[in-house]
Each structure stands twice: as C-alpha cells, then as structure tokens.
Amino acid sequence: MNTPAHSTPPPSTDTGLHMLMRLMTRERWIEVARISVTGLIALLFWRGAVPIQVLWAAVAVGLYPLVKTGILDLIHEHKVGTEIFVTIATLVAVFGGETVAGAVLMVIILIAEFIAELNTDRARASIKSLIGSVPQVALVRGTDGEKTVPVGELKIGDIVLVRPGEKIPVDGRVVGGQGAVNEASITGESVPKDKDADAPVFAGTLVESGALDIRTERLGADTTFSRIIALVESAESEQAPVQKLADKVAAWLIPVMFVFLIVVYLITRDVRTVVTLMIFTSPAELGLATPLVMIAAIARAARTGILIKGGIHLEALAKVDVIVFDKTGTLTSNQPEVVQVESRTAAFDGDQLLRLAAAADRRSAHPLAKAVVEAAARKGIAMPEPSDFEQLPGRGVKAAIEGRVVLVGNAALLRENGVPLQAQVEDGGRTPVHVAVDGEFAGVIFIADKLRPGAREALSELRATGIQRIVMLTGDNAPTAKAIADELGIDEVHADLMPEDKVTAIADLQRQGHRVAMVGDGVNDAPALAMADVGIAMGGGGTQAALEAADIALMTDDLGKIAAARAIARRAYRTVQENLFVGVGVVHVLGITAALMGWIGPIEAALIHLGPDVLVFVNSVKLLKVRIRGA
C-alpha cells in the first residue's frame, strides 16, 4: 500500500527564520559581505590601521550598487532616486574632510536599504504562507491500482484519493467517499464543510476527516487556489493614488532639497552640517511608506477570503460613501422557490402553465428561471425542448414550444411584445413571473426568495464604517423590491431595471459627488461593477467570471465580508497616513531642526535615520496580525 506523500507538514516547520533564510539569496549574501567589509575598513582607518586610499577603495565598492541602480533609474525612469542622493552625500562627506563620517554614513544607509528590501520581500512572501500551499504529489487510482505521481503529470479526469490530514491537490468533484474539508485557504472560513458525491472541492484545501475520491477538473495554474495567488501577487502593480502621490512627491522633493542644501552651504560653509542635512532630506521612507501597507493589507484580506486586486481598489473602498447592492443572489439567498402557480386562462391549468414556462426557461441561467424548472422537475412534469430560444436581459425569455410562442418574465416583457395586462400583478414580497402564450396573458408563477443570513447585520456594520447611503438596484418589480428594502432598512430602491439602467443609476450617484461601490454576482452585473468606483463580486469560490469581473472578489456569499473588506481598507489607508506623517514627516522635521542647530552630526543622523525605516516597517506589517473587525 502506498503511503500518501502529500500530507500537510506541521505548521512549526515554516517559521519566520526559515522564511528569512529562503529570502537570503546569493546576491543578498554578497551585499552583506560588501557592507561588512566596508564597515570593517572604516573602523580600521579610524584606528589608524589602514591608509586613506584603502578607505576610498572600500567606499567605491560600497557605493557601486547604489550608483548602478541610481544611473539605471535616471536613464530608464528619468528620475533622481534615493541611491543618487546617498551617493552624493557620501562623496561630499569623503572629499569634504569628513572621511570617516562619510564611510560610516554610507554603511548605515546601506544597512537601512538592505533591511527595507528584505522586509518588503518578506511581506510579499507572507502572502503565500498566509494562504497556504498546494501539494506537489497526488495519490491516483488507476486500472493498475493506486500510485503516487507528481501533480504535473495528472490529467483531467484522473481520480485522486485524499485522506484525513491531507491537502487536496486539484480542483474537482467528489465521486466517492465522504469527508469534512477545511476551505479556509479559499473562503477564509475555518469551519469544515461536509463533502459527499458530486460536491465541488478546491486545491489547497484540507481534508480534516473522512476520505474522498476526487475526479480532476482543473490543474495547476487553472485551479481556483492558483488564480487567487496570481491575483494577489499581481495586485502590487496596481498602485493606490496615495502611493502615486508619494512617488511624485519624492521625485520633486530631491531637486528642491539639493537647492536647499546648496543655500545652507553658501551660508554656513559647513560640510558637516550639509552632510547631516542630506541624511534627513533623503526621501527613502516616502517610497517605503505605502507599498508595504498595501502588500500587508492585500495579504490579510486574502487570508479572510477577500481578493483585492490592487492598492488602487483598496484606497477607493476606504473612501466609498455609497454602496449599491443588486437584490437577487446578493441580498437574498439566491435560492428562490415557486410558491404558487396561478392560471389566468381556461386554456391551461396550473401544471400545464408550469410545463410551458419551465420548457421556455430550461436554457436560462437566471435564478428565477432555475426555480421554475426545478418546480416542474419536482412535480415530475416532462419539459419539452424549445425549438427556438432568446434570452432578453432585464426582461425574461422568449421561446417556441411545440409550435407556441411562450414569453416568461416580468410585466415589461409582455407589454413590449404587445400582450395586454388587465392590471398590475402585485403580491407583497413575492416575485411574479408572468407567462404569455401566443400573445395572450396565460398566468403568473409566484416565486419567493429568503433574505441572505446576516444581511441586516452586515448593512448595519457598513453604516458603522461611515457609509452614508445604501441603495438597491434590481430588475425585479417595485413591490417585491420595496418589501426587501423595508426589511433591511435600505435607503433607496430602484426597481424594474435593465442592466444598462443600473449603469445609469451608478453614474447618477457619481455625478452627485459620491464614491460608489457596487456589489453583485460578478456575471449579470458586470457592466454596473465596471462603472462603479469599486466593483465587488459575491461568491467567487470556483468561478472564473466572478474572479475577473470585479475589483474585489469575495470567495463566499457572506455579506459580512464586505464590512471586513471595508475595515481592512480603512485601516490600511490610516496606516499609510501614519507612516507619512509620523514615520516621515515628524522624524525628518525634527532631524533637520537638530542638524541646523548643530546638535547632531552625520554619524548620529545616520543612526537616527534607521528609526523611520523600522517604524514604517513595523507599522505596516502589523496589518497582518492586528485585530480588525470581521477579518
């Protein structure tokens, strides 16, 4: 019997020390050696053990990577970066008579830059460690028995066996066995879900009890887990506006500071003061203040089952003051059921009406259409295949059934097709699906949907985070929409909308000066999601469309995740402000003041300069662990 080779290792094997060692590449060890040698030679020169020529050579070796990076930035990005700034500061010190101070200054700055880069990469690496990993081998059942094979050799349709304590290596469906699966790596929810025949399962999730036989449906980069990792890792390239602002400030701050330093030198003729000021006028922390926060916040959200596709969307969510919800499948549970079939003609009884409606709806993916088809199936009613079918967005369907033209949808669909309605069909809270046959109104199928669990509480939490207005947009009729809105305390309702009407409604809110988030299912609401300042797709677990349609994708249908995403976004934005104000502003203003007063020199300034780096890093990465409501 083969021993499973994809069991999950104990968490203790992936410590912070192991992660740090993995980040220490050959290039980084060379950097450590360069810094150490330069520092040692500076110390030896200070003690009179080596001549000044050796110190100059050491400074040249230490400055090489800074000069190289600075020149490349100057050529390719047309900007004077921190590296050029530090190089000039060191050279001014060395050739201005402050030789030891210049060398020590360079060593300390190199250490600060090294720590900043290492910690940034460590924050990036934490994304994968927070979310988890996928096994690299799988136990496969074939005609020749069971064998362990690399995941890369699996094919669609292979039957993979997963036992207690093992992670699932593929996306697929259960074809045998039963078990409880922890899907926290996908949904952010640690409560195991029971899985049996035909249940979907995802790569990277953990079988806590039982055993499952899984038919492989998606492999490698196509799995939901891999798409999550790819989306989170690519999110860093989507800069937040505050990050772009910091980069712009850094770009114009450097030439301004050079002018300031020249003026100071012309007044004081003191190289020591100029070198000290150069340390505190370096914009290094401006470049560090925002990216680390965004990486940490996106990783924290991913661990909670929330995919944020970039800092730009994180900042936008923090500033939103209006949230717009679709109704069906978002505020309601998306499990509508037929509760009454009412014939309005002697030509058809209730079952005959349901048969024609279900036949017309069988090709539709709309939740209400599925409810009609399921109702007919439960009654054992045979549904003929339509000879012609047309889906009419925001209205319903039109189909040819056994030579009859059947319309199934809302009242607007019938009116637009010339079908007379004696009166508006209303039924407090239940959705009426109108049916017309050969141009005549035939009856109504009433469908009811339950509110999604926790919907009321989620909306209250959103209001507590500063949301001023909650709006519902729906293609459903006004009475049904109003009943749902009244129960949830929604401020504003727009009913009987086509998809393009939802886009118009969002544009109207934006013209009023509001920043708008739209919450929908990621498929039918794609235009509205794209129009909003932030598009949030519900229930992204396993669906490619939901992952790609919106700026933020929730991996479950828990409305509470929206409040959690908002809380993370607000906390991240506040952290950026803290970094810029305290880590950069206050420390540098105090440092410049101390330098102008002559209280500190270059070496003291270089040591103090480490403070903002450490402060910004600690304040940023705390987002990975600090308590955030709902996250």
How far, in Å, are 118, 588, 612 from residue 583 at the CA level?
A: 19, 8, 5
- The burial class, CB within 10 Å (0-12 / 13-18 / 19+), for 17 is exposed
Phi, psi of 192 (to 5 degrees): -60, 150
The DSSP string of 150-192 is EGGG--TT-EEEE-TTBB--SEEEEEEEEEEEE-HHHHS--S-
- On whether the CB atoms of residues 552 and 535 are closer than 8 A, the answer is yes
Could you tell me where the DSSP H helices lie in 290-366?
A: 291-303, 311-319, 350-361
Closest CA to 329 of 201, 449, 458: 449
Would you call 481 exposed, middle or buried from its count of C-beta atoms within 10 A (0-12, 13-18, 19+)?
Answer: buried
- Contact between 235 and 572 (Cβ < 8 Å): no
Question: Tokens for 361?
Answer: 């709806």
Strands (E), 410-548: 431-437, 440-448, 469-473, 492-494, 516-520, 534-537
Q: What is the 3-state secondary structure (H, E, C) of 40-83?
A: HHHHHHHCCCCCHHHHHHHHHHHHHHHHHHHHHHHHHCCCCCHH
Whole-angstrom CA distances from 175 to 164, 197, 273, 399 are 17, 5, 75, 36
| Residue 213 CB burial class (10 angstroms; 0-12, 13-18, ≥19) | middle
Sort 242 into a burial class: Cβ within 10 Å, 0-12 / 13-18 / 19+. buried
Region class of 430: left (phi > 0), else alpha (psi between -120 and 50), else beta: beta
Q: How far is CA 453 from CA 182, 458, 482, in A?
A: 21, 9, 19
Check if 351 is active-site. no
Q: Interior CA angle at 44 toward 38 and 47, to 5°?
A: 145
Q: Nearest to residue 373, comparing CAs of 389, 362, 384?
A: 362
> Any idea which residue has 């544009």 for tokens?
507
CA distances, 464 to each of 327, 331, 351, 461, 468 (Å): 22, 18, 49, 5, 9
Catalytic residue among 158, 171, 326, 476: 326
Q: Which helix (H) or strand (E) holds 249?
A: helix 241-268
The residue to which tokens 């402060």 are assigned: 615
Quick one: tokens of 136? 């690299």
CA distance 515 to 584: 29
Q: How many CA atoms lie within 13 A of 188 on its CB side?
A: 25
| C-beta of residue 142 within 8 angstroms of C-beta of residue 183 | no
Return the active site residues. Answer: 326
